[in-house]
Structure 1
Amino acid sequence: MDFSYSERVKAYRDQVRWFMEEYVYPNEAVFEEQLNAQDTRFSSVPPIMETLKQKAREKGLWNLFLPDSANGAGLTNLEYAPLCEEMGRSMLGPEVFNCNAPDTGNMEVLYRYGSKQQQEKWLKPLLDGKIRSCFSMTEPDVASSDATNIEARIERVGEEYVINGRKWWSSGAGDPRCEIAIFMGKTDPDAPRYEQQSMILVPLDTPGVTITRLLPVFGYDHAPHGHAEIDFNNVRVPEENIILGEGRGFEIAQGRLGPGRIHHCMRLIGAAERALDDLCKRVQQREAFHQSLANQGVIREWIADSRIEIEQARLLTLKAAYMMDTVGNKKAKTEIAMIKVVAPNIALKVLDRAIQAHGAAGVSDDFTLAAQWANSRTLRLADGPDEVHRRQIAKLELQKHEMTGGIPSGS
């Protein structure tokens, strides 16, 4: 395995890094000021965001996640990793480059599985950054970490599908630009377990779609996008809105969540790197008990442990990306599961140390640490909780040592 970056990737990384330092970091406070100046935080998108997006597009730093040179940069997962890491250093970064969740996952679904009509109507404006989308899978009344538990219904009536159910944590649905949801529900409860679910496109302005509330995360509303609870009450959409066909929902979900999970991990490494930067700067600027904090033994242990853990997480992420590129997402499922456990937990450790080093300032909004901590903590749940991924890892590991008639398989 060779994880060295090509000259092309290095050039992209340097461009993204320069753009972040020149435009994104200096405008984080501007974004918040504009957001707070609105009548409501969800009424519109701060103008600075569209300005930054336009600048990124002009620089050719657009849709870098998409492995299609016609619409994106044509990069592999391994090549995209260092760019995604740079974006993850700021909460604003991913959207600036049109590489933000859940849009990236939804665009990949439409790119891989959507019909020509669906791609023209929904994928194209998403790639252009003109609209946003949400992904409606999780439900409040069932343990949605097991997607086969989903109870929402998609029933065919003539040339339409009728949709009923309640979803929550549909990230991005509060955004005034959010026009489409990818909805997961059951089309045939009597089919084999993994063929009951389907995915369908639901425009949010369809009668019967009601956003009942926006859910905060540790007190953060993540405006203007938010995380919505949505009621779908006898919602009717045309039959051409079904994606790939009835009973293919679980298959699509697996295809969507592989790249989505590793993108989250790449961004988390960027968040951890920035936290370590902040930690190192802070402890060299502060004194306690007549000496620099940087000279305190415990602080140096924090710094050393943080560097070790970030490098471990990065290497495992690069290995997972390499395997996705070379043997496919299905064969890389162990590595994807492992990094999905490791990256959020490492990011939380590094962020916690940085918060501690900043003292009371660390839990304030004067720094990005508290917001990044809250975001990182949610990623121990999003796209599957740690426990589900550990269960999968253990299952695959045990399969290597299965006994057949008292003799280990493969002997």
Structure 2
Amino acid sequence: MKESASYKEAVRDDLDMISDQRENVEDQSRGVYSEDRSEEIHGQSNNEPKEMDKSMETETEVETGQKMGNNDESLRGKSTVEQKDAKGNDQKLETDDHRQRIEAIKRGREREKDRIAVERAIREARERAFAEARERAERAAVERAAAEARQRVMAEAREKLEKASVETKQSADKASTEAKLRAERAAVERATAEARGRALEKAMSQKTFVEPRTQAERNPAERLSSSSRNSGLKHSFSSSDLEKFDGTASESAQRRKARLERHQRIMERAAKALAEKNMRDLLAQKEQAERNRLAESLDADIKRWATGKEGNLRALLSTLQYILGPESGWQPISLTEIITTAAVKKAYRKATLCVHPDKLQQRGASIQQKYICEKVFDLLKAAWNRFNSEER
């Protein structure tokens, strides 16, 4: 395009130069002819002899003018030929330009088609990559959900197993404690009955042999002291009879008294142990009845508190004050304070010390507090086991 434009400008410059030359020649010819005519008119009156010379000069000038005209015509013909050539060149250049524009348009269309095809391929590749990434993400999410479900099932099974083992252990401990208490009670009752039977048998067997001599040797003061002892020990399994008739005839009164006191202390300890055991049984029955009465309302409160927090140790620790109450002495812990594992372990140890059944028994907590703390202790223990399994 640039070459064709420069060529056109060169042709135009040549044509302008030729036309300028032609105009100059015509002007010169017209000037010469006018001078000749004026000289001819003025010369006829002044100098006729010079007429011939001037005519000759004019002829030569006319010839030169004709030659100049012929040259102009030849130049004009040349200029027309050049104009035609220029027009042909212009047309050729225009056709070339048109063809080049068409080819450029075709090339541009081809490039546009190639660009569209490349963009389509890139878009399809990007869509395929997005689809594959989405499928991988969905597959990973499904696998993660399945793994979490398996972990939850395993944790629930572990919790159930631990709870069952704890309940079995508690029931076994309770049964063994009750059996031990029954055995102790039976042993105390049996020992008491045996001691009473032996004392009565011994007293009855010695009564027939020792009574006449003891009555003869006894002075009035001894009889008075014996009667006072009988009245004081009337409720201690017939201890007065033992004091009267226990021992042989040759045994001193001091030894008999020491033996009777020792026997009385044994009987008192047995009676005291039996009374304490009966009191413990009575308190246990009352406590169990109170627990059964409070269980329905307390279970609902505990379930409402623990909903959505099963197995989540941080959530249980951060909301522990809502179920324990202010009288438990528990200091609330915010969720931001138990972000790290060490903080969670420290808070769990503090919570177990606060709700442990043995600690509550030592503090003399009420039945309601004991029941709530036992349930909370079980929930915290299950959440702790799950927390440890996740940390590992």
TM-score normalized by the length of structure 2: 0.22
TM-score normalized by the length of structure 1: 0.21
Return the structure number with greater strand share. 1
Return the structure number with greater helix share. 2
Point out the structure with max Rg over C-alpha. 2
